[in-house]
Structure 1
């Protein structure tokens, strides 16, 4: 039976570092969660390190700006690993060619800014689909539209043999009280149609490699002293399992209804949910605090 805890401080002394999800855990896209901020600050005050690990399809500099705007202060974290940075590394090493068709909103334009850490990055040009050598998907053009609107373009792309680089494996996210589609939903559709999709965020290894490299700037941290915290069963929790890391499942996010979470998840509903997804977690908590 998964142990349900009231707050992170109950078990935080077991860990030296935490990989913490942002959206749904630290904020809802509109404002920061004060209790989550306090939990991170408290962990850092006792010597712990916080790596914000996010499937946001943007460089970490833009994530810092977003966190500050939403009310997540600088003293609540140490460093950041983004799906965008992991995917940008692949794009600028030529994973989907030099001429790419971009699916996404204007807010994701920083994804295409030059990557200074590479000595000889590929020259990337955004072109119409008919001229593309590959697809870069940072999210839907319209996050409220059914992903199926992309079927005609995806059929054409599959016929051409184009690979789709997915910069955010999340399928959905909650913006306040409104659920929106993410890039993962489009990549899933393209794969189901027979196309090839490359993923770089949670639960896939590339973003954890990046998180570990950034954590290593602060010292040596064995895996049994790292805990992953997040609300995505198919991203945060599956990723933690794949990396052999402990996890805290925040049930009041994407799975609030299924786990019947009020302040805490209902134990029976939580057990049924985990069984249905064939997942196990070290701990569960209604909301990160």
Structure 2
């Protein structure tokens, strides 16, 4: 059974660092959650280290700028590690070729234009039409408010005929932007796989993003790490696969399953739901606080 706690402080002294998800835990896509910010600040003041680990398909400076706009203070975290960072490494290493068809919006242009110093001498990656592409890079739908994966069936069928691989810059399937649920790159990548295509992933729950965080934080081999997140198939699954303890935030994507009070999940319903998903996070909490 997952132990329900009322605050991060109840368990935080048992850990040297936390890997905390953003969307659904620290903010809702529009505004930060003050209690979550305070919880991370308090943890850092006690000597803990905080990695904000996100499946955002953008390099970390863009994520930091978004946090600044939301008013998340810099003393709430030590480092941001994004799926975009890990996926960028793969793209510039040639994982899907040098000519790519980009599925996404202009807000993700930095994924292509802001080349990390370590890849400055790598062969150039150029965005081209689907007909000219060697591979596909998906950072999200073209129209994230109105489109669904099915809208891409015809274009993906054409890509399949040519055997194009797909690089997914964000394994999340959906997120809640305020009160609106939108599809992410992961939904398109899964749809492409269901059609018979090959999709490559680098964010949670896949190893590259954790390896990047471990390396950049220079954590000791025996460091005690706690993952905090609301995604059962990203945060919780990733923690389970990495052998890391997890604090599941029930008041995020799956909130409707655990009772009427988002702050206080019903234990029986929570553990039944977790069993159905074959997941067992060590701890659960309504909202990060």
The verdict on how the C-alpha distance between 1:65 and 1:119 changes in structure 2, with shifts beyond 3 A counting, is closer
Tell whether 2:139 aligns with 1:138. yes
Question: 2: distance between equivalents of 1:54 and 1:262?
Answer: 22
CA contact under 8 A between 2:26 and 2:32: conserved in structure 1? yes
What's the counterpart of residue 227 of structure 1? 226
Q: How does 1:22-41 map to 2 (within 5 A)?
A: 22-41=22-41
Could you report, residue by residue, the CA deviation over 1:200-244 in whole angstroms, capped at 9, with x for unpaired residues?
Answer: 10000000001111211xx52625x10000000000000000100
Mind listing any 5+ residue stretches in structure 2 that lack a counterpart?
A: none
CA contact under 8 A between 2:21 and 2:228: conserved in structure 1? yes
What's the counterpart of residue 244 of structure 2? 245
Q: How does 1:60-79 map to 2 (within 5 A)?
A: 60-79=60-79
> Which SS does the other structure have where 2:81 is aligned?
strand
What's the counterpart of residue 159 of structure 1? 161
CA contact under 8 A between 1:115 and 1:121: conserved in structure 2? no
In the TM superposition, residue 268 of structure 1 has moved relative to its aligned partner by 1.3
What's the counterpart of residue 278 of structure 2? 278
Q: How does 1:194-273 map to 2 (within 5 A)?
A: 194-216=196-218, 219-220=219-220, 222-223=222-223, 225-260=224-259, 261-273=261-273
Greater than 4 Å deviation, 4+ residue runs: none
In the TM superposition, residue 72 of structure 1 has moved relative to its aligned partner by 1.0
Name whichever of 112-121 and 22-31 sits farther off. Answer: 112-121
CA contact under 8 A between 1:92 and 1:115: conserved in structure 2? no
In the TM superposition, residue 142 of structure 1 has moved relative to its aligned partner by 1.2
In the TM superposition, residue 73 of structure 1 has moved relative to its aligned partner by 0.8
Question: 2: distance between equivalents of 1:119 and 1:107?
Answer: 22
Question: 2: distance between equivalents of 1:155 and 1:47?
Answer: 52
What's the counterpart of residue 127 of structure 1? 128
Tell whether 2:45 aligns with 1:45. yes
CA contact under 8 A between 2:262 and 2:287: conserved in structure 1? no
| TM-score between both structures, scaled by the size of structure 2 | 0.97
Tell whether 2:119 aligns with 1:118. yes
What's the counterpart of residue 12 of structure 1? 12
> Which SS does the other structure have where 1:117 is aligned?
helix
In the TM superposition, residue 145 of structure 1 has moved relative to its aligned partner by 1.3
> Which SS does the other structure have where 1:24 is aligned?
coil
CA contact under 8 A between 2:52 and 2:77: conserved in structure 1? yes
CA contact under 8 A between 2:250 and 2:262: conserved in structure 1? no
Give the CA RMSD over aligned residues. 1.0
Question: 2: distance between equivalents of 1:82 and 1:169?
Answer: 11
